[in-house]
Amino acid sequence: MTVTQETIEQLDRIPNVAVSPGALLSQHTRFGIGGPAAVYAEVGSEDSFRDVLRLLRDNQVSYTVVGDGTNLIVSDKGFPGVVLRLITREIARDGALVLAQAGASLQTLVDYSIQNGLRGLETLTGIPGSVGAAVYGNAGAYGHSISERVVSVRFFDGRQVRDFDNAQCRFQYRESIFKSHKEWIIFSTDLEMLQADADALRRTADDILKVRNQKFPVTMKCAGSIFKNLLLRDLPESVAAQVPASAIREGKIPAAWFLEQAGAKGLQRGDIHVADYHANLIYNAGAGTAADLCALIAELKARVQARFGIELEEEVQYVG
C-alpha cells in the first residue's frame, strides 16, 4: 500500500520520530547510490520504534529497516514505502560487561571499549556501520567476530521484546538467526569483554586501521568487501586443491583470491569499478548506478562460477 499523507502525518505525531518524505537514499548509503524513499524516518527511542511499526502494519504500509547504510545497495528507483532507521546510541558498562544500543556506531563501541581497557573488539576497528548491523551480520576481521563477545541480544519480534543468548543467535561466519528473520529488529546487545591495557589495545587498533584505510579509504564510495570469504572445509576437493597454502587464512580463502583468478581486477561498468589492487572491492567512482553495480556483481559471480564451479555470496544487502 502506498504511503498516504494521513500516514505521514500520523508518523510525524509519534515522539522521537523525524520524518523526511521523498528523501534520496543515496544520501544515506556509503555507495552514494539509491533513489528516493516514499518516506525516510529516523526513530530515537525503542518505544517510538514499536509505535511506528504498529502504525505501518495496521495501515499495511511496506517498510524496511536499515542501519548506517554502509552495506546496502539501494535500487535506482528507491523504495516505495517507509525506510526506518533506529538511532538509539547509548553505550554503557558494568565492569567488563558492555551494553550497546543498536543505533550506536560500531567504531564508537570499539573506541569506548579501548578507552576503558576492555579487550575483544579492537580488531573490528575501521569497520563501518552500526552495532545492530554488526550483530545482524556477525561482523568481524583479523580472525575475530563480534559474536565472540555477545552475551545476549535484545530485539523486537513484532509483538514483544525478547532476549536471546549467544547460542540462540545461531552465529556463524557472517551469519546470525536475524538474517533469517528480517522482521526481527535488534534493539541492543550485551557484550562480555576482557580487562586489558588500554594503550596496548589502542596500538593494535591503530595498526589495523592504518592497513584498512589503505585498502578502503574513508572517502571511497564502497561497502568494503562485496563477497564473503569461503571456508576451506566447505569447498569441493577439486577446488580446494587449486588453492595455494599461502592463500588460506585461519581456514578461510579470501573471495578476492577466486575473483583475481577470474580476472576481476580493474573491471568496470559505467562509473562502477573493481579496484585494480583488490579484486573484492567494488566502488562508485562518481555517478554510479545500482543497475550497473548489480550487473557487475552478477558478472563477477558468473566468472567465478565458470572458472571454479562455485557461487560467491554477497555480504551486501539489497533494498528495493
- H helices present in the chain, as ranges: 5-12, 46-58, 106-115, 131-136, 177-180, 198-215, 237-240, 255-261, 290-308
pLDDT of residue 2: 80
Tens of pLDDT, residues 216-264 = 888 999 998 999 999 999 999 999 999 999 999 989 999 999 999 999 9
**Domain range annotation of the chain:** 9-86, 91-199, 217-319
Q: What average pLDDT does range 301-307 have in this prediction?
A: 98
How much of the chain, in percent, has pLDDT values that exceed 90? 96
The verdict on whether 269 is a catalytic residue reads no
Contact between 100 and 193 (Cβ < 8 Å): no
The verdict on whether 315 is a catalytic residue reads yes
The architecture in CATH of the region 217-319 reads Alpha-Beta Complex (3.90)
pLDDT of residue 215: 87
- Nearest CA among 303, 89, 129, 123 for reference residue 212: 123
Tens of pLDDT, residues 269-291 = 999 999 999 999 999 999 999 99
Cell of 225: 568487501
Tens of pLDDT, residues 137-169 = 999 999 899 999 999 999 999 999 999 999 999
Given the residues 119, 149, 174, 212, the one annotated as active site: 174
Given the residues 122, 225, 303, 314, the one annotated as active site: 225
Residue in this structure with the C-alpha cell 554502509, named with its chain if needed: 70
pLDDT of residue 138: 97
Burial of 154 (0-12, 13-18, 19+ CB in 10 A): middle
> Which of the listed CATH numbers 3.30.465.10, 3.40.50.10540, 3.90.1150.10, 3.40.50.300 matches domain 91-199?
3.30.465.10
The verdict on whether 174 is a catalytic residue reads yes
In this prediction, residue 316 has a pLDDT band, given cuts at 50, 70 and 90, of very high
In this prediction, residue 1 has a pLDDT band, given cuts at 50, 70 and 90, of low
- The answer as to CATH 3.30.43.10 being correct for domain 9-86 is yes
This prediction has a pTM of 0.92
- Nearest CA among 65, 72, 71, 68 for reference residue 89: 68
